[in-house]
Structure 1
Amino acid sequence: MINSKKNILLIMPYGSVGGMERLALTFYDYYKEKGHQIKVLKLIQLQNDIINFGEDELYLSTVDFSEMKASKRLLFYAKSPIHIRKIIKKYNITHSIAFGDMANLFSSLTQTKEFKIGSIHALKSVELITNTFFNKLTRFGYKHLYGKLNKLVCISKAIKEDLIANCAYKFSNLEVIYNPHNTSEIVKRSQETIKDPLEKELFLKKTILFLGRLSVQKSPWHLLNAFAEVISTDKKINLILVGDGDYAVQQIVYSRIKDLNLSNNVHLLGRKSNPYKYIHASNVLVLSSLYEGTPNVIVESIAVGTPVVSSFCTKGIIELMSTKDYNETDSNIEVEAGIVTPNFFNGEIGIPKSFSLIYEEKLLAKALLKVINNSEEYKEKLHLNKQELLKKFNLEYVAKQYLKPVN
């Protein structure tokens, strides 16, 4: 049954270079290669989208949520399930895969009979801590709507446990499936040369790389404070940030770079269609997130062979970076893929009122310096454990597992 040809609809929020979008592209390429008929629906299609799907791409709006008035956004929420229903009918969709809560909610409301797959990509008890309208709607969905999905994929054990224990999730359709990765393709693309001479020059120094969206979730102010500590020890280190971001967060980043006198060492490169070559060119990849699921970028960095320093923003980080189990602690944890530092989450989500240096930032700085100053040792350790760390992300296995009924 799994090998028979299917009409698959992928529903994704944006076309940026974030983890969910790259995951959707991975599925698209795999299912297309296997001969399935694929359509991809972007809830929001923007002119500067990095990830695109040519003639297979559909969209609901070309206006971003940040540019919609509240009334227009509510109307968008109300009409989206109707529009998706029409798309499912028009293309005789047999299977739909939704990425993230907005797509999950809309899919659950279409009243169509295809095999519906939803997915959760972050620790929801933390993400839903603010009482916004959409967060209220999401919590309602966990109790009343998500049962309409045939399967809800959790991309780590930690996420599944959190949904049940802390989010009042009511249905028995949960299954843990790790994100798939075409690691051979990632490695191949990581070998591409950085051609821009200005960018190339940046990587001549020892380099820390942040890859992702500049958002409250990623808390880049913690990273910048830690990096200020790093260059107080060694000024010949660059911090490179690859990705776009929320406007308010970007403004904070610019302000903090100026306040901390980091302009000569911090460089924002924006969106990149091939982020893997920047991972390969760096000494260490860093995450300073408040919460995560199982960040794709960590798996990508492991595949490329670049060590990782990440905050303990979810137990899922340990699932990615180690073959062993570790409990959360207030100390740095040495693991096969790098170092895990203490969690930054303090019970609140938002831009902090104070940017004073904190204990966790000092430990992040200490970890970054240790990896950079012992780069070959950490790369060798990662190399020895890479196959064991990556085996759970096999693309063929995961892509097939998505389309099966819940175990």
Structure 2
Amino acid sequence: MMKNILLIMPYGSVGGMERLALTFYNYYKSEGYNVKALKFIKLNNDIINFGDDELFIKPYDFADMSKQERLSFYLKAPTYIRKTIKKHKITHSIAFGDMANLFSALTFTNEYKIGSIHALKSVELTNKTFFNSLTRIGYTKFYGRLNKLVCISKAIKEDLISKCDYKFSNLEVIYNPHNTQDIVDLSKVKIEDVEEQKIFSKKTVLFLGRLSVQKSPWHLIKAFKLVQAELKDVNLVLIGDGDKSVIQYIKTQIKEFNLTENVCFLGRKNNPYKYINASNVLVLSSHYEGTPNVIVESIAIGTPIVSSFCTKGIIELMSTKEYKETQENIILESGIVTPNLFKGVLGLPKDTTLTNEEVLLSKALIQVLENDSFKLNLNEHKIELLTKFDLNFVANQYLKHLD
């Protein structure tokens, strides 16, 4: 029977879920399936696009909606998805993230429903918002209507069961797929912009992702201040869009620390891989994560990583071995993991005191920037590290029915 697949996602930005959706879209289309992609929010500057197969609900962001309009959206979204499923005779739907998962579960349609969780939810749900309250209810009341809920790491599955009161037996661990050859090919494209060439002519630390509370980039700015004080001739590049309040906060930090000449905001980029290739180290300072796509992408390209211990899933990606969480830096095959930066409260920080964890983050960055052995070690272990992310296997595993 022909498969008609609907991919459901919140945005079309440069985030990991959206890039994953595009990877699936291209693979399933190449297999001859009919595929549609539904964005809740479509913006003019979307990086991830699906051509004639793209559908959307709203042409402007949640931040631009009134509380009443956002509530109306929450109530009406399942009905819109239901109509889309009926119109296009969808046989399989794949939802990316809690908003898409919840609305998919509430459509009361009969296609094979696949949801997915991409971050450590117990941390995220400490932030008491209306939608997080809905999500917690969903874990006990509605997620059972999904035929399968994919967790992109063992750590996420364990977290849902032990800390989020998840009540259903439809969980399966499937790592995110990556077409690593395409990533490597795109990484070899030259940077043409003259100003960008100047930026990357120095040693470069790269942040790639959404500038959000989850990613807590203020830790990175504080750590980079220490890096720049010691190495001087080094730049920090931030690629991605984000929350206005977070961006304003870190811009204030940068000005106060006199880092304006060394911190560069490049915004969204259609091909972020060439910037990973041009960088000396990729960095994550997140409060929580699942198994970030950007880590696998950086491994494929051969750029070492420094990441906080924001989830056990980081270890699953960056090493072939298991490590317990510690208050010291851990050297792995693909870089260094530093202690968890999360202190129990999500949101912009009220205390700006330099922490030991930020100092250790800076030391890890300096260590990788000064030592070529990290890049050599990564390339030596690259094939072994990437085996579990094979695109053909993962894409088909998503559609496979649970036993």
1:233-287 superposed Cα distances (whole Å, 9 cap, x missing partner): 0110000000001000010011010011101110000000000000000000000
- Please name the residue that 2:142 is paired with: 145
Q: Is the 8 A contact 1:174 1:406 kept in 2?
A: no
Q: CA deviation at 1:5?
A: 2.9
1:208-249 superposed Cα distances (whole Å, 9 cap, x missing partner): 000000001111110000000001101100000000010000
Any idea what SS the aligned residue of 2:21 has? Answer: helix
Any idea what SS the aligned residue of 1:291 has? Answer: coil
**Which residue type is aligned with residue 18 of structure 1?**
G
- Please name the residue that 1:325 is paired with: 322
Gaps (5+ residues) in structure 1? none
**Which residue type is aligned with residue 129 of structure 2?**
T
**Which residue type is aligned with residue 389 of structure 1?**
L
- Please name the residue that 1:218 is paired with: 215
Q: Distance in 1 between matches of 2:129 and 2:47?
A: 29
2:393 to 397, 401, 405: 397
- Please name the residue that 1:57 is paired with: 54
1:45-70 superposed Cα distances (whole Å, 9 cap, x missing partner): 01111111110000011121001111
- Please name the residue that 2:125 is paired with: 128
User: What are the within-5 Å matches in structure 2 for residues 20-31 of structure 1?
Assistant: 20-31=17-28
**Which residue type is aligned with residue 28 of structure 1?**
Y
- Please name the residue that 1:264 is paired with: 261
Q: Is the 8 A contact 1:206 1:283 kept in 2?
A: yes
Count of residues in correspondence between the two structures: 403
Q: Distance in 2 between matches of 1:15 and 1:338?
A: 30
Q: Is the 8 A contact 1:318 1:326 kept in 2?
A: yes
1:275 to 272, 281, 286: 272
1:43-94 superposed Cα distances (whole Å, 9 cap, x missing partner): 0001111111110000011121001111111110000100110000000000
- Please name the residue that 1:8 is paired with: 5
Name segments (4+ residues, structure 1) moved above 3 Å: none
- Please name the residue that 2:93 is paired with: 96
1:282-319 superposed Cα distances (whole Å, 9 cap, x missing partner): 00000000000000000000000000000000000000
1:206 to 167, 178, 203: 203
TM-score of the superposed pair, with normalisation by structure 1: 0.98
Alignment of 1:387 with 2:383, yes or no, is yes
TM-score of the superposed pair, with normalisation by structure 2: 0.99
Q: CA deviation at 1:391?
A: 0.4
2:84 to 78, 87, 90: 87
Q: Distance in 1 between matches of 2:247 and 2:172?
A: 36
Identical columns (%): 67
- Please name the residue that 2:110 is paired with: 113
Any idea what SS the aligned residue of 1:97 has? Answer: strand
2:185 to 180, 183, 188: 188
**Which residue type is aligned with residue 142 of structure 1?**
Y
Q: Is the 8 A contact 1:221 1:355 kept in 2?
A: no
Alignment of 1:347 with 2:339, yes or no, is no
- Please name the residue that 1:369 is paired with: 366
Q: What do you get for the CA RMSD once the two structures are aligned?
A: 0.6
Q: Distance in 2 between matches of 1:258 and 1:225?
A: 12
- Please name the residue that 1:246 is paired with: 243
**Which residue type is aligned with residue 356 of structure 1?**
T
1:179 to 171, 176, 179: 176
Any idea what SS the aligned residue of 1:213 has? Answer: coil
**Which residue type is aligned with residue 386 of structure 2?**
L
Q: Distance in 2 between matches of 1:264 and 1:357?
A: 22
Q: CA deviation at 1:406?
A: 1.9
Alignment of 1:336 with 2:333, yes or no, is yes
